[in-house]
Amino acid sequence: MSAIHKLLLLALASAMLGGAQGGKPLVANKIQRSYMIHADGTMALSKEEFGTYARSAEGTAIHLGVAENGTTRRTESFIQSTKDGLSYAINHTNQTYKTSPWDRSGPSLENVPATGESQIINGVRCFAIPIKDHETQAVIGKSWVSPDLGVVVKSDATLLLRGEPVMRVTEELTNIQTDVTPDLRAFILPTGYKNVGRVVDCPNCRK
């Protein structure tokens, strides 16, 4: 199940990081929760992570960690680097990372039509867009996007395995600020970490 969990988290991180990046610098707090879905339909919280989101000319970065003894221990990060055109999925526990090409051919989140279902989330006007399975194109959740900021403010997605729901992941940005310059260290790959290959998909995990 951990491999399936990672696939969904990578997909959601990619969606939140965006495709064609643009817009002004932005920083925010981020919270991500993962729930296991049991056969009877009940859910149990399996992981809760807290962290930061940052965007600048250097790229976009998400850093997450778990709360331990009153502090936050960083566990994973997702960085899209403007400099080298790569996306990095970083595991801080193992001090490893994987890479994949940063596909900037997709539409910018700033171009999401400001029509349809909308609501104010954390002080930001957002519009709903569906989250689809990469292979089947089935709708598995919903993202709330701010076209003004060009960012996903909130998302909720459920992973299906052989047609059955097995995991739900929610993400949300809070304390969104556009008048703060992000720390450039947020976009730098930690020194000494080992490259363990490229991010690979798992098509059978979605069947």
Count how many domains the chain has. Answer: 1
Token pair of 85, please?
């055109």
What pLDDT does 98 receive? 92
Mean pLDDT of the chain: 80
Residue 54 placed within a domain: yes
User: How far separated are the first and last CA of the chain, in Å rounded?
Assistant: 14
pLDDT digits (tens, 9 = 90+) for 24-54: 899 999 999 999 999 888 999 988 999 999 9
pLDDT digits (tens, 9 = 90+) for 47-69: 899 999 999 888 888 898 987 76
Residue 141 placed within a domain: no
Domain that holds residue 78: 2-107+168-200
Residue 180 placed within a domain: yes
CATH number for 172: 2.50.20
* Confidence grade of residue 177 (pLDDT, cut at 50, 70, 90): very high
